[in-house]
Amino acid sequence: MCFICQDKFIGNGDVNSLRCNHIYHHLCIVGWIRHNLSCPTCRDTHF
């Protein structure tokens, strides 16, 4: 499940994994990173 939008991942869809190993939908994390320079789950700033 994507922490940002709360939707389930379907198959091997368009997902991204950060260095901290948290996984998000590509569009969700791109939008997040534009405004926040940290992981939305653990707040890690080392991408």
Q: What is the pLDDT of residues 1-47, one digit of tens each?
A: 999 999 999 877 799 999 999 999 999 999 999 999 999 999 999 76
Extents of the domains making up the chain:
1-41
The architecture of the domain spanning 1-41 is 2-Layer Sandwich (3.30)
DSSP alpha helix (H) spans, 1-47: 26-35
Task: Tell me the C-alpha distance between 33 and 11, whole Å.
Answer: 24
Q: What is the pLDDT of residue 17?
A: 93
Say if residues 46 and 33 touch (Cβ distance below 8 Å): no
